[in-house]
Amino acid sequence: MYFKSPRFMSMRRSELFGLTDFIANCGGLLGLFLGFSFLSLAEIFYYMTLRYFVMLSSYSASL
């Protein structure tokens, strides 16, 4: 086998997007498009527990 030129071009491929980058971007896009975040989840949990305790205290006060 004969080549025209004795030089070769070598190429190296590297990962542009890792698994953690992909997961982080998916979470960011879901938060952007759905308008939901972990902070919202904490606020919902806080509201539900606060509502439960207010209902419990008003029920015990009426007895």
Domain presence at residue 54: yes
Q: Which domain holds residue 41?
A: 37-63
pLDDT at site 41:
83
Does residue 6 form part of some domain? no
Sign of the CA dihedral 47, 48, 54, 58?
Answer: positive
> Apex CA 43: angle with CA 37 and CA 49, to 5°?
140
pTM above threshold 0.75? no
Position 52 in a domain: yes
Identify the sign of the CA torsion 40, 45, 50, 56: positive
Q: How many domains does the chain have?
A: 1
Is residue 31 within 8 Å of 37, Cβ to Cβ? yes
Q: Give pLDDT tens digits for 32-62.
A: 887 777 788 889 999 999 998 888 888 888 7
User: pLDDT value at position 20?
Assistant: 93
Domain annotation covers residue 18: no
In a domain, 7, yes or no: no
